[in-house]
Amino acid sequence: MADLYLKALESERKSLWAACRLKGLPVGTPERQRIVELDQLLAEHKAKKAV
């Protein structure tokens, strides 16, 4: 079965990353901070799923 939460996180991260690259946003902007948060959430979710 598809993990919709995981897909939503990955999709949000992908779109934010593309916007940051397109706009040339520096580290420390809210968008970049959200990407870091998403990375943490993804790692936590994958660790939970592995157990």
Tens-of-pLDDT digits for all 51 residues of the chain? Answer: 578 999 999 999 999 999 999 999 999 999 999 999 999 999 999 999 888
- For the chain, the distance separating the N- and C-terminal CA atoms, rounded to the nearest angstrom, is 17
- CA 28-9-18 angle, to 5 degrees, is 50
**Cβ pair 2, 41 in contact under 8 A:** no
How many Å apart are CA 25 and CA 32, to the nearest integer?
Answer: 8
Alpha helix stretches (DSSP H) within the chain: 4-23, 30-50
Q: What is the value of pTM for the model shown? A: 0.87
| pLDDT (0 to 100) of residue 23 | 95
